[in-house]
Chain A
Amino acid sequence: MTGLREKVEGGKRAGGRIRIMLPLGTAGAWLRRAGVSGQILSLIIVIAIFAIGTRGRFLSPANLQVILSLAAIPTIIAVGVHQVVVLGGIDLSVEGVVALCVVFVGLLLRNKFNANDVGLWILPITLGLGGVAGFVSGICNTKLRIPSFIGTLGMSWILWGLAVFVSRGQTVALLDTRFQELVTGTVFGIPLIALIALALVVFLQIIQDRTRFGRYLYAIGGDEVLARQAGVNVTRIKIVVFTLAGFFYGLAALFLSTRLGSSQAITGNNLLFPAVTAVAVGGVALTGGIGGAKNAALGALIVTALNDGLILLNVNPYAQEAVNGVVLVAAVALTIDRRKLGFIK
């Protein structure tokens, strides 16, 4: 039995390195298990730098409110994208799906352009639209066996083209303000939309931690072949994940267009990049199997805080995408598991 003891101690030793970095007892243990310590640290650093750089303006209640409210939609989208990334794929269809959903919101909700008014039915309609788009992406990936990055890229263009085609490139002003009030409202000074996003993140995190679906998701991300061997229905899980991502994009589209009070296809532009950056910054490894909803949300918060800080510092807005690009590449470089990839292509 001595051998057993040896290996037990060996295992402890392997874990020891990580433990030293977090000497904070239970809080440290929780963080280690949750795998978000690095993200919280980055968030603190970002906040500290901008707090100093803006002489405290960054930490003013008004600005914090702005950050929370701005972070909500990227969070919702990032949460949708991250599950696909956990599977080891990627979803580049965000902009197309959102554009199409936004256009349908504009045409179906009470507006200045036509006589339609579906009222609250718009929620299931946009979610359904997004879900169908995600489902098709999932079919492309699993049944047609097309790599997700190219399949979803193609999907994005298909849907974007459809969106502009359907809307004839016009901007439609919305008259229904119910959603707008919901989106811009606050509870105890906290933007309602941020609370909605938070609720979604918590809900999905529980699903990931406590259901069989969560287990299978991470099993596929860890090793698809082994997961299949163990009996996981890989195809079904993948399709579900893509469909769920579509739901999230649909919801984001509804919030985006109602917040703006108008609908146009280009609302969907420039959403993909922050979302993928948020996912990578949140510590969701592009190689799959690591990181949950909380990671995606933290990533979105970091990216939003970063961009907000840059605006406060009067950095050229056009430079922001460059900053995001650098952050994206750096984050991927830090989180990717190169042993899993063999030769990188």
Chain B
Amino acid sequence: MDSLGPGNSSSASEPGRARARRLRTPAILYAIALLVVLAFLFALGNRNFLSAYNLNTIASYAAILLVVGLGQMCTILVGGIDLSVGGLMSFISVLFVVTVKVIGFWAFPLCLVTGALVGYINGNILTRIKIPSFIATLGTGGILMSLALLVSPLPVVAPAALYGVLDIVNGSFLRVGNLLVLTLLIFVVYYILLRFTVSGKSIFYVGSNITMSWMSGIDITRTRNLAHILSSVGASLAAIFLSCGQYGGDPSLGKVYILNSIAAVVVGGTALTGGTGGPVNTLIGALVLAVMENGMNVVGVNAYFQQSILGAVIIVSVFLTFDRTKVSMIK
């Protein structure tokens, strides 16, 4: 009925404008407030919360969340989602440890290229075969999971002789763990990519309004492929970091990160509708989740019950950030 009369568009714009006004207080402020409140509460409840050791634990966990979350964020920003990060992380984890035994350092670039390739395939299933990303990545995630089990059905341990290579991640630099330094580096790279390059900024335009982007000459196929590549690379990096930290690969390592990565993104205030949010949001989101998990561990909340809380947190965050003016029907 859109074709009926001039009044239609102007009347429809009214509630739209009212809703959009709500966006003026960026979601990130809520996320920061949540972070501060959580940290404050846990610090009050537990004297050791602010100890160097505990802060380091939080930071290490947040680092992994941040790296996989930054990737996930790219697909969410472009308006899709990547459910294959779990399978991919499991696969890369075993692949990394198996190959590092043979080719040493070269396992790092090999795994990253493999990850990028997976992202490229995910992207093309979306853009060329035209299957919605959530189902396409559910499928590829399953495939990757089974590939991981084919490579090694059981966890593999990295031999002690290789600890030197793993020190690229496990070592420390000026008393700061390499993991944190590398994560910071990755954050900066993603930040620059998304905020200061034409391709990266296109991700926001496409996510915000794909029809307009297409009409304005943005290459929407390339942009969405890029988002999926960035996602898979992030997941691969996180898998490598985790495997180094555990001195071994594990085919079941990835599964929890499907949900954790989405949680880090949406808790930070990046909307599932695409186009709004960004790397800083994900940083805050990862910190919130890490503090939450750490705090719950200290307080003694059952580890599995924490998964339940995470599920609820995602639903609440999506509820708060989802831009309903953009979609007429919620399917």
Contact = CB atoms under 8 A, between A and B. Distances in A.
Nearest to B256: A157
Contacts of A326: 139, 143
User: Which secondary structure characterizes the binding site on chain B?
Assistant: helix
Nearest to A326: B143
B33 interface: no
Interface stretch (B15-23, B61-69, B173-181, B311-319): B311-319
Contact of B328 (A154, A225, A319): A225
Given A343-B210, A343-B211, A157 B307 contact: yes
A88 B139 CA distance: 18
Nearest to B304: A164
A224 B328 CA distance: 10
A325 B142 contact: yes
B150 interface: yes
Contacts of B145: 321
Interface in B308-331: 308-312, 314-315, 318-319, 322, 324, 328-331
B142 A344 contact: no
Q: Which of A151, A326, A329 has the most CB of B within 10 A?
A: A329
Contacts of B125: 329
B31 interface: no
Given A319-B150, A343-B214, A156 B311 contact: yes
The prevalent SS among residues of A at the interface is: helix
B52 interface: no
B306 interface: yes
A149 B83 CA distance: 11
Given A161-B308, A319-B146, A151 B315 contact: yes
A225 B329 CA distance: 8
Contacts, number: 168
Contact of B331 (A288, A332, A343): A288
Contacts of A165: 302, 304-305, 308
Contacts of B115: none
A333 B302 contact: no
Interface size bracket, A side: 35 or more
B315 A146 contact: yes
A260 interface: no
Interface in B192-213: 210-211
A268 interface: no
Interface string B281-316: 000000000000000000000101111111110110
A329 B140 CA distance: 8
Interface stretch (B3-11, B35-43, B99-107, B129-137): B129-137
Nearest to A286: B135
B27 to A, nearest CB: 16
B259 A153 contact: yes
B68 to A, nearest CB: 16
A244 interface: no
B80 interface: yes
A146 B146 contact: no
Contacts of B139: 325-326, 328-329, 332
28 contacts: A88-B329, A89-B331, A140-B315, A147-B331, A149-B81, A150-B314, A153-B258, A154-B311, A154-B314, A154-B318, A155-B311, A157-B307, A158-B307, A158-B308, A159-B308, A161-B305, A161-B307, A224-B331, A318-B153, A319-B150, A322-B142, A322-B143, A328-B138, A329-B125, A344-B132, A345-B79, A345-B80, A345-B210
Given A154-B259, A319-B146, 13 more contacts: A90-B134, A92-B138, A144-B319, A146-B322, A154-B318, A157-B311, A169-B304, A224-B331, A276-B135, A318-B146, A320-B146, A328-B135, A336-B130
Interface of B: 78-81, 83, 125-127, 129-136, 138-143, 145-147, 149-150, 153, 210-211, 214, 220, 258-259, 262, 272, 274, 302, 304-312, 314-315, 318-319, 322, 324, 328-331
